Amino acid sequence: MRRRPPRWLTRLLLALLLAPPAVILLFRFVPVPVTPLMLIRAAQGYGLSKDWVGYGRIDPALARSVIASEDNRFCEQIFGFDLRELRGQVEAALEGDRPRGASTITMQVAKNLFLWPGRDPVRKVLEAWLTPQVALLWPKRRVLEVYLNIVEFGPGIYGAEAASRAFFSRPAAGLSDIQAARLAVVLPNPLEWSAARPGPYVQGRAETIRRRVGQLGDLTACAG
């Protein structure tokens, strides 16, 4: 006869299976207090500045700019993945090209909520497991709200409100289109690029994003 697994192991596996969706469901309704990246950066000496605000207190230009910069098909996705982009990256890899990555806004939210920075395979697998749970348990507006409140915009600066006040001396509700575009541009490298003191690349890229927002039209409709 096969031995049944120990009861403690069964309970542990059940907890690991049920805990993430329970936490995700909780954060559908309550603000996220802290993320692993915030703790890591604080330990590195960057400090921690954040100020959670509701989606209605963030200028819609920022959500539209983030979609234009990070994830053009965000509003169309069902499970949080850009399948068209993923297919293109797989084809590029098979042809010997270096994949650029196909991270979506929902994937970044899942990573920021639970995981650590980096590109190791274990983290990627966990991110792929968590992303559909976020996509299915949260409406699009909540995904954007959480993302814009926990994402890193500068060294130790998290969320639209803290970033807007630190870089532009105004609340997130008062961002201009170009300021919103600059914030969106620095997201891939917030420790090196500055929305307040943009170099030539950030300035040029921000102008491109500002124009792209108008070109995307209904693809940013879920941002409001």
- For residue 83, being part of any structural domain is answered with yes
- For residue 21, being part of any structural domain is answered with no
Total domain count for the chain? 1
Residue count of the chain, please give it: 224
- For residue 14, being part of any structural domain is answered with no
Domain that holds residue 108: 34-223
pLDDT tens figures, 17-60:
778 899 999 999 999 999 999 999 999 999 999 999 999 999 99
- For residue 23, being part of any structural domain is answered with no
State the CATH number of the domain containing residue 98: 1.10.3810.10
Whole-number Å distance between alpha carbons of 51 and 48: 10
Q: Is 111 exposed, middle or buried (0-12, 13-18, 19+ CB in 10 A)?
A: buried
Q: Which residues of 168-189 are buried (b: 16+ CB within 10 A; e: fewer)?
A: beebbeebebbbbbbbbbbbee
Angle, helices 140-150 vs 60-70, to 10°: value is: 90
- For residue 6, being part of any structural domain is answered with no
**Cβ 161 vs Cβ 56: under 8 Å:** no
- For residue 1, being part of any structural domain is answered with no
Closest residue by Cα to residue 196 from 186, 209, 208: 186
pLDDT of residue 119: 81
Cα→Cα distances 33→52, 112, 113, Å? 9, 12, 10
Say how many C-beta atoms besides its own lie within 10 A of residue 89's C-beta.
17
pLDDT of residue 70: 94
pLDDT tens figures, 128-173:
999 999 999 999 999 999 999 999 999 999 999 999 999 999 999 9
pLDDT of residue 18: 74
**Cβ 109 vs Cβ 98: under 8 Å:** no
Question: What is the DSSP-derived secondary structure letter of residue 2?
Answer: P
Whole-number Å distance between alpha carbons of 125 and 136: 18
> What is the identity of the amino acid at 48?
L
- For residue 17, being part of any structural domain is answered with no
- For residue 46, being part of any structural domain is answered with yes
What pairing do the DSSP bridges indicate for beta strands 152-154 and 49-50? unpaired
